[in-house]
Chains A and B, each alone.
Chain A
Amino acid sequence: MKKALAGIITTLFMVGGIGFSLSAAASPVPTAALAGVAGATLSPVGERAVEDIRRCLSSSDVLNVFYLIDNSGSLASTPDGGPGTDEDFRRVDIINQSLRSLAELTEGSSAKSINLSLGFFASSYSPGVGWTPLTKSTVADLESRITTEVTVNQRPNGLTNWEAGVTQAHRAIQEQQSASPGCQMMVWLTDGGINVDQTLPAAVQSGVNLCGSDFFGEGYTASAPNGTFHALRQSGVTVFAVLLNVGSGPKDWRQELLQPLAEGSGQIEGRSTTCGVNPIPEDFSAGAYIEADSVGSLSNEFLKLAARLSGGSDATMISKDKISVPKGVARLQVIGVDAGAILTSPSGRAIMPSAGSDGFIDAQVLNDAEYGTWSVTATGWSPPAIVWGALVLVPERDPKAAGGAEQSVGFTLDTAGSTSVAVTDYDFTLAVRLTYPDGTQETQSIPSTELVSGANTLVFEPNPAYSEVQIRYTTENLRTKQGQVPLAAIVAEQNVTITPPTQFPTVSNPTITQALIGSITPAQGTFSLTAPADGNPGEVCFPGLSSGELTPAPTIVGDSADRLTNWQWSIAAADQASVIDDCVQLAPGAQTTVAFSASHPSSADSAVQALTTITLGDGSGGVLPITKEIVFPSERIYFPVVGNIVRILLIALGIILPFVVLYLVALLTTKGFHGRELRRATFPVIYNKEKKTLAPADGKASSMADVGKDAFTFLTPIDDFKKFNDPELGTLSAVVSANPLRAPWFEITPRAGTTVFTDKTAPPIYKKRFEGGQKALFSGDMSKLWALSFSESELAKPESGSDDIRGKLVVFSRDSFGASVNMQDTMAGILNSLRSSNAIAEAQKVLHAKQQQKDDSKGNKPGTTGGKPVPTLPPLPGRSPGPFTNATPPAGGSPLPPLPPRPGSRP
């Protein structure tokens, strides 16, 4: 397995490495690098990813590589305690071996500067090794640091949070790209499916954030438009995603997601899924998905694949073990052979697998005698072999061309020093495509017969409206002239700086001094302006320079987050610059700078590409509008912890706020209605709890219907009230519950030592509040209020005593125009209410129970109060004293007045 993984990673680098020379003959792949690779065939998108890296390296000297390594707990052990996928830290050897192979690429005629960084991810991201130049002299130190990080400092633990790892890796690459621009590559090694917090919704949301599309169609929204991987592709990062699916059976969606993430499309649970913009735009970098599931079975397949991707192509087989090697083939390889296999050239040279190169034979074609038919002697070998050509195309580095006139740029075509093969041994057509920053393209097609070995020139007329054009060379239909053996296409790229005619000033490509960080820190950069080369004065006009705002705003032509509008651009010339209106004046030979900044309210991880039009003036009336490309990185700063805290606070506040408002509305609008012409009367009454009747207590009226209408007196008019004090009843108030879902109510709180009853019965939910007559409900309209008030001592008389309870009836009434109160109807209503209510009887029971409890706690017998006899009323006239009545008057008080004869009773 170790070898397999080493092979995968190493091969990736070697594939890139081939791009340096574009010729296997010139830069043969170290055999150790390809040893023991296990893997699967790359998809067309995966192949394009390799081509993207090769092409990029043909025009850049720098390669920034980031290793993102899975460090989840599954590497050490399974959840049920079983062995992990790499409990012996074999990945240390894998990584370190790939470093050694990578270091090879930093030497030689086409040496590259390689910057390497490494980070780990599990439940979260953890940096490992910062950006470090990789050379043969630093590789030992790097290996040591990585070993310490993996085996000591960062032991496997936690879940598999892809998003945390990939986001931070992207950020690290962006920062490095600002410091040292070049080709970008990320090797992402994971041993399991996405698992953020062991819940499905979190995993799907995280997957959607990475992918950019709601692949399950369940209403998830990505945190950034098109997703994280689209941003990686847009910013030119080639991602090689390697899934170590070792013996874990069929993949589920969590693992299947890896392919659409890396390549932009794939299958999840049998359904076609795309991530980001598809197909991947031409100016984006594609990614590749590689799955390793066993050491041996995929080894040969991956070796063939790696060989093909490194510039090889399928050989023309004469028979199962005979290979056609005509003039033009510089190298060949047979893969999947046993250790005793032999590859024999036409000249009789026999080649066997070298030590350490398990399963393949690699051979260079040394001289003319070796052209012809090669034979393979091996068991279990499956053709075809792989062959490489020797053709190399190297474009001129950093060429410049004046716009508006026919210009030429150079490129060399040779066979990398081969003495036996010449450029003329190949048939092909060189397709040349020129691409300007706005995407406009021009193409040329040059047959190989018009090309010579050595220096060649491409003639074209650069569009002066642009300051740069990218030229891509591709060999189409590349074959050996002899035998017509097809070979892999050669791709190379060069960026040509277009300079204006000499009478115009020049404007440099912008230098970015600050990346766009979130929405707070704007991207910043400068243009350097230089006076015309012909020694005359000139001017450079930026739209809106005088106002400090770049208007019209530059056109956004590339942003993975699709932030096409709402950009704020500012621009300012250097202090010493001479500015007239929107134009910077340049004296002969002068140089100055113009600074600009850009910000956007939405933050995203992206590389923003914008085009702005600048007008050059030659000082004598001639103008030349040019388009300048501004490219700057954009970073999204987001801490998930902060997000969670904000989310919880917002939801809590958001839900509480409407309830607070409801409460306030109820508090402000709930008032008892008093109004004008309100009259009030108080009547001493006797309530018979047995018959539930009322009788006048003053003896002036024979029945309640006859009580005095004249007893009503007008109250001082007020409109409404929150609280109202009644001398007999106590406090009448409007009450708003702290629970705004409950309707407000109106209640009477009796004075101390008294109880109160109305016609309203409290709902069960408020039973405790209103029990025992300690409070009474009313409708809020005082004109409809009547209430009975009893003293607590009167109500708490022993049950064995009299049925009559003395109290007061308070009645409110409003009869318009001074009409007298209709006492008959009023009293009929009161009596009816009393008859249908058990409130007074229940209140009495509550008081008795309380009394009992009180007595029990003091150790007294029932029926006594504090050791003293319970005061009882004298018997009503016409009644004999009850068996338990006591004639003694209540302690501390005068005897109650005798009750008047009850209506209809005999004296």
Chain B
Amino acid sequence: MGFGLILLAIAVGEDNGGTLVLEGVIGYLMAGFATPLLWGWDAAAQRRGRINPNFASRRNYSSILRVLALAGILVSVVHLLLISVPIAERISEWLYISGIVGV
């Protein structure tokens, strides 16, 4: 699931159009936010599961999720860079219009 989210995030993040910020945020949330969350969720579930004597721990799942979460955070940097451009434009415009900074 995490892997799929990363792929989807990469695809969504490729758009460089007017909805860049929205898509960048979605991409970031999916790649850089959701995968760590899933990793944390799995870790918590496995901790709780140990209470049950019939629970079989799947440590390889946690390992895969950890790798995916770290990869997702790296991918999310791309989205953050894309988001930063329109945000910086808005701030620049505000600085320009308010007269704080001239061109």
Contacts and interface: CB of A to CB of B under 8 A. Distances in A.
Our verdict on whether A and B bind, yes or no, reads yes
Interface of A: 168, 171, 221, 223, 225, 517-521, 563, 565-566, 600-603, 636-639, 642-643, 645-647, 650-651, 654-655, 657-659, 661-662, 665-666, 668-670, 673, 675, 740-741, 743-744, 779-781
A518 B96 contact: yes
A520 B66 CA distance: 42
Contact of B44 (A601, A666, A675): A666
Contacts of B40: 661-662, 665-666, 669, 740
Contacts of B90: 518-520
A666 B45 CA distance: 10
B11 interface: no
Given A602-B86, A655-B32, 9 more contacts: A518-B89, A519-B90, A646-B84, A654-B32, A654-B76, A662-B40, A665-B44, A669-B44, A781-B51
Contacts of A650: 80-81, 83-84, 87
A773 to B, nearest CB: 25
24 contacts: A168-B103, A517-B97, A518-B89, A519-B90, A563-B18, A600-B18, A602-B18, A636-B89, A639-B101, A642-B92, A643-B84, A645-B88, A646-B84, A650-B84, A654-B80, A655-B77, A658-B36, A662-B36, A665-B37, A665-B43, A666-B43, A666-B44, A670-B47, A744-B47
A445 B94 CA distance: 54
B64 interface: no
A131 to B, nearest CB: 15
B93 A518 contact: yes
Contact of A779 (B50, B73, B86, B101): B50
Given A636-B89, A646-B91, A659 B36 contact: yes
A202 to B, nearest CB: 14
Contacts of A521: 93, 97
A185 B16 CA distance: 31
A565 B17 CA distance: 10
A517 B43 CA distance: 50
B103 A661 contact: no
Contact of B84 (A647, A658, A666, A781): A647
A825 B102 CA distance: 81
A603 B85 contact: no
Contacts of B44: 665-666, 668-670
Interface of B: 16-18, 20, 28, 32-33, 35-37, 39-41, 43-44, 47-48, 50-51, 66, 69, 73, 76-77, 80-81, 83-97, 101, 103
3 A-B pairs with least C-beta separation: A669-B44, A518-B93, A665-B40
Contacts of B89: 518-519, 603, 636-638
Contacts of B94: 520
Given A602-B17, A650-B80, A666-B40, A643 B85 contact: yes
Contacts of A655: 32, 73, 76-77
A240 B95 CA distance: 33
B18, B43, B51, B92: which has the most chain A beta carbons within 10 Å?
B92
A638 B88 contact: yes
Nearest to B39: A662
A196 B91 CA distance: 23
Contacts of B48: 669
Contact of B77 (A646, A651, A779): A651
A646 B35 CA distance: 24
Nearest to A673: B51
Among A565, A636, A658: residue with most chain B CB under 10 A: A658
A890 B96 CA distance: 80
Contacts of A602: 17-18, 20, 86
A30 B48 CA distance: 91
B88 A643 contact: yes
A659 B32 CA distance: 10
A274 to B, nearest CB: 19
Given A637-B103, A654-B32, A666-B43, A519 B80 contact: no
Contacts of A657: 32-33
Given A650-B84, A655-B77, A566 B92 contact: no
Contacts of A637: 89, 92-93, 96, 103
A654 B77 contact: yes
A517 B96 contact: yes
Contacts of A221: 16
Contacts of B20: 602
Contact of B88 (A642, A651, A670): A642
Nearest to A655: B73
Contacts of B85: 223, 643
A601 B94 CA distance: 14
B103 A669 contact: no
A657 to B, nearest CB: 7
Contacts of A662: 36-37, 39-40
A610 B34 CA distance: 43
B47 A646 contact: no
Contact of B81 (A225, A647, A658, A665): A647
Contacts of B35: 658
Nearest to A520: B93
Nearest to A665: B40
A121 to B, nearest CB: 14
